[in-house]
Amino acid sequence: MNDNFAEIYPLDEFAEVCEWLAFKGWSEAEGGNLSLRLEQDQVPDPLKESDTEPVKLPLNVKELAGKYLLITGSGTRSRDIATEPQNDIGLYRISDDGASYQWIFGNDKPTSEMPSHCLVQNEFVKSRPDYKAIIHTHPTKLISLTHVAEFKDPKVLSDCILGLQSEARIQLPEGIGHLPFCVPGSLELGLLSAEEIKHRNVILWNMHGALSVGTSLNHALDQLEVVEKAAEIYWTLRSAGLPTGGMEQEDLLKSMDFFGRVDRYEKAFKDKK
């Protein structure tokens, strides 16, 4: 059965992405966690049902009712997931009333950030159904950005950081979110993340890390790489004492126009303060 689990699911993509997270030094020790939502037809019949004890969720996730999640285990290391993903990733089914989950296979202790993963996945089913993958990790240069007072405002943060390299805002026209400090693993962090993820693909968690989402785990990783690159440019300029004003607005708009992203760019941060 263990071999089947490894063969059936896209665990190799978890392994590949976790290897990069460890290699980049973003998911130190047991830091970071990932999840991927599966469609019914991706789950073979013998693994569809489970007789394990249901575990109550802190909040109802009714959009996820009857759906399946692959999620990394609590206390697991990215560098271990890279080599033996079947030990550290678990398959879960959300109950038909959306109030609890049942463990089905693999690792049976989900990450402490389970509330954020469930609430964001729940929002995706509702408003962005092609989004299935979530990565939470601790990229050094992004965490450092959350220490800059003016970057508490996500619009100021986005306009500065994504204006430092010509393709960054093209990749992320809606900008980057930045949540106020929340206790790691808290329901509050999950609720704020689920609200913000309606509008953005990358969110910074104040003094903690980043949450990135995508249609696949690799898509979520791509976006983290883009934002981390822009942050590296920011810190390089800062340490050289150079200005961080970035692209001329006219050049940025020309690029957005060329790639058909003006609407998305202009709508960013209009949805909410």
CA distance 271 to 80: 40
Which residue among 49, 63, 113, 266 is the active-site one?
A: 113
Q: Which does residue 112 touch among ligand 2HA, Zn ion, none (CB within 5 to 8 A, set by kind)?
A: ligand 2HA
Q: Nearest 5 degrees, angle CA 191-CA 34-CA 121?
A: 40
Give the range of 30-38, 90-98, 165-173, 239-247 binding ligand 2HA by CB under 6 A.
30-38
Q: In this chain, which residue has its C-beta nearest to ligand 2HA?
A: 184
Element (H, E) at 33: strand 33-38
Residue 119-158 contact track with ligand 2HA, rule CB under 6 A, x = bound = -----------------x----------------------
Place of tokens 């296979």: 105
Is residue 106 within 8 A of residue 90, CB to CB? The reply is: yes
Complex with ligand 2HA: residue 29 or 267, whichever CB lies closer = 29
Minimum distance between the CB of residue 146 and Zn ion, rounded to whole angstroms? 13
Q: What is the DSSP letter of 63?
A: G
Query: CA nearest 134: which of 98, 152, 109, 110?
Result: 110
CA distance 94 to 209: 27
Minimum distance between the CB of residue 111 and Zn ion, rounded to whole angstroms? 9
Number of residues engaging ligand 2HA in binding (CB under 6 A): 10
Q: 173: left (phi > 0), else alpha (psi -120 to 50), else beta? A: alpha
Complex with ligand 2HA: residue 163 or 177, whichever CB lies closer = 177
CA distance 48 to 123: 23
Minimum distance between the CB of residue 271 and ligand 2HA, rounded to whole angstroms? 26
Residue 115 interacts with Zn ion (CB under 5 A): yes or no:
no
167 is catalytic: no
Give the range of 2-10, 122-130, 166-174, 207-215 binding Zn ion by CB under 5 A.
207-215
Complex with ligand 2HA: residue 149 or 183, whichever CB lies closer = 183
Burial level of 1, CB count in 10 A (0-12/13-18/19+)? exposed
Q: Which residue in the set 163, 209, 214, 246 belongs to the binding site for Zn ion (CB under 5 A)?
A: 209
DSSP string of 173-237? TT-EEEEPP--TT-HHHHHHHHHHTTT-SEEEETTTEEEEEESSHHHHHHHHHHHHHHHHHHHHH
Residue 112 interacts with ligand 2HA (CB under 6 A): yes or no:
yes
Complex with ligand 2HA: residue 25 or 44, whichever CB lies closer = 25
Q: Which does residue 10 touch among Zn ion, ligand 2HA, none (CB within 5 to 8 A, set by kind)?
A: none
Q: What is the DSSP letter of 242?
A: -
Chain residues that interact with ligand 2HA, rule: CB under 6 A? 30-33, 111-113, 136, 184-185
Active-site positions?
Answer: 113
